[in-house]
Structure formats: structure tokens, C-alpha cells
Amino acid sequence: MNDWCYQLKYFYLLCIVIGFSNPLVSKQIQFSLVPDRDDIIQYEIELWKTENLEQEIPFRVLSNPGPINLFIPDGYEYFRIRAVAKRKVRGYWTELYQTGQFGKSVKTKEKPIAKVQAKTDVLVPIPTREGASEFYLTTNKIAIVPVTIGKNFRIKYRINGGPWQKDSSPQLNFEKDGSYRLEYQVTNELGVSDGMQVWEFKVDTTPPESSIRFLNPPFFQRGTSFISPKNPLQVFATDTGSGINTIRYRTSCKGAPFTEYYVWNDSSWADIQRNCLDNFRLEISAVDRLGNEEIPKQILFQKMKQD
């Protein structure tokens, strides 16, 4: 019998708890199972008391596609579903659903992030929007050293098509952001030269710049901005070099020490207001893909007391 993979589509219609006189039935879950294949004729549902599937026997239910009223006996906290096609070909089981949370959106707990580490390789590839890669220099100095150790080596080099220069151990500085083309060739004391070496790379030492705005403009009075708690705060960042990696933030509520850094996302503003019911400071810092970090910006939010 061959297993086959399928997509299980379901729509939550209602999740309710109903009391019954029968002690074997404690709650009922209503939902719909919509098959994504024409040959699916049935669904198997297994009810489990625990997540340990090896040490118990499940309570099994068969159901046709469409609306389903699943009665959950007392003590059964989990269930899973699989489709059955014609000729009794069965698909894969879904994950275990928890009966008490089925149909409810579960918010994952946000985890703090570590400080972004700067790149340590001399040249690192950074993907572009077009799918290609551009190399970026991670240090502002390059030393050209021959691979073969010997005496009287001469190195001929030039940058961005400029005049050729010669040196035995050139130390090159790239302090300005921009695109560079480095060409060099090594010649030994016998006049034997290797092939021309070409490096094309960019330099990015400038950190990103973050900015904030409220969805609705604040009200200004005597140099103070007034906003409603329901006015969403939006955070943006721009970078002219390698591009934005993350926008980090942390908060200090009512003079307490700052929290760890978190990644800013669409729910961050609501999370901040929910976790800090008093005055707080918000610190924001953008980081690019080379690890250049913006000097953090701080904003003080003071909540007005209503009379």
C-alpha cells in the first residue's frame, strides 16, 4: 500500500464547549474538512489523551468530507486527521492538534536577538535583488602578498583603471564607500610574471538610517507631540550599501533597565504598549548586512493621566 502526500484544507467554523449529562462527552468541536483531491472519500480522526503515541490506544472516528461535529470524550486532549482515498489509500497524519486550542490563533513568544557580528572574511558575497552576488570588503586595508615566498618580488597594481604603480609589498587603503576594481600582477627576480589578478568589490562602512512615523500625524503643542495609543507606530530603515539586515529595538519601562534587543515587526508596537503600561523609552537601531550598526536612537513616551 503506497502512502501519498496531500494538503489538508480546513476552515474553522466554531470552537465551543458544551456541557452534557453523559459523563463520557465533555465538549464538541465543529469544523469543515475540504478535500483538495477528487478521489478523497473519507477522513480518519484519532483522539489521544497525551502526546505519547506509543503508550496508549487512540479513540478512532470516521467522517465524510464537509462539516464535522467532533465530540471529545473526557480525558482526550489531542487529535489528528488523515485522508482516505478510493481503494483505501491513506495519506499522512497531520500534526497533533490540542483540543482546547483548536481554532484559536497561538501567538509565539518573541525571542531576543544577539548583537549582529561583523563579517570577518576579507571579501564576502552579498546577494542582490536580481539573484546575483556582489562582493564587499570587510576591512579598509588590503596587503598584497605573493603566495610563493622569495626575494626581489615586484608587484604592479592599479585601482579603477588608474596609473600603474609598483611596490614590493603594497598596503592599500579603501576608506571611502563605493565600487572598486583592483588589478595586480606579481613578477619575480627572473622576470617571470603570473597572470593578471582582478578583484571587483564594494566598500560599505556607512551604517543604515532608521526613521519612525505614526500612521496618523501627531498633534503638536508647545514643542510636544501628542498621539493616541491606538495610533500605530511605523519604523523604517534605509541603507545605500549592502542593504538592511534587521531593525532592532529595546525598551525601558518606568526607568527600569533596558530589555534585550528584539527584531521590529508589525506587532512590536502593540507588544510594547501591552507590556509597559507606564512611561517608557524606546530605543531603535538598524543594522546592515555587513554588521554596520546605526547609533541607537531613543524616544521618550509619556502617558497622560486622565482626570
Of 142, 152, 149, the C-alpha closest to 183 is 142
| In the chain, alpha helices (H) | 268-275
For residue 157, pLDDT over 90 is answered with yes
Domains 9-98 and 141-203 belong to one CATH topology? yes
Q: Binning pLDDT at 50, 70 and 90, where does residue 228 land?
A: confident
**Residue-wise pLDDT tens digits, 32-41:** 888 877 778 8
CATH assignment, 209-301: 2.60.40
Q: What distances in angstroms separate CA 44 from CA 15, 66, 94, one per listed residue?
A: 20, 13, 11
Across the chain, what does the average pLDDT equal? 79
As a whole number, mean pLDDT of residues 215-232 equals: 75
Confidence at residue 266, expressed as pLDDT on a 0 to 100 scale? 87
19-23, 78-82, 150-154: the lowest-pLDDT one: 19-23
For the chain, give the number of residues: 307
Q: Binning pLDDT at 50, 70 and 90, where does residue 15 land?
A: very low
Residues 6 or more apart whose Cβ sits within 8 Å of residue 265: none
Q: Which helix (H) or strand (E) holds 237?
A: strand 233-238
Q: Which residues pair with 66 in a beta bridge?
A: 33
Q: Which residue has the cell 483522539?
A: 47
**CA separation for the pair 12, 31 (Å, rounded):** 5
For residue 164, pLDDT over 80 is answered with yes
Whether the model pTM is above 0.95: no
Q: Which CATH number fits domain 141-203: 3.40.710.10, 2.60.40.10, 1.10.8.60, 2.40.50.140?
A: 2.60.40.10
Domain positions in the chain: 9-98, 141-203, 209-301
303's grid cell: 502617558
Q: Binning pLDDT at 50, 70 and 90, where does residue 188 land?
A: confident
**Residue-wise pLDDT tens digits, 244-299:** 999 999 999 988 899 999 999 988 998 898 888 888 999 999 999 888 999 999 99
For residue 237, pLDDT over 90 is answered with yes
As a whole number, mean pLDDT of residues 95-99 equals: 84
- Exposed, middle or buried, 54 (CB in 10 Å: 0-12/13-18/19+)? exposed
Q: Provide the 10 A C-beta neighbour count for residue 45.
A: 18
Which fold, 9-98?
Answer: Immunoglobulin-like (2.60.40)
Q: Provide the 10 A C-beta neighbour count for residue 301.
A: 18
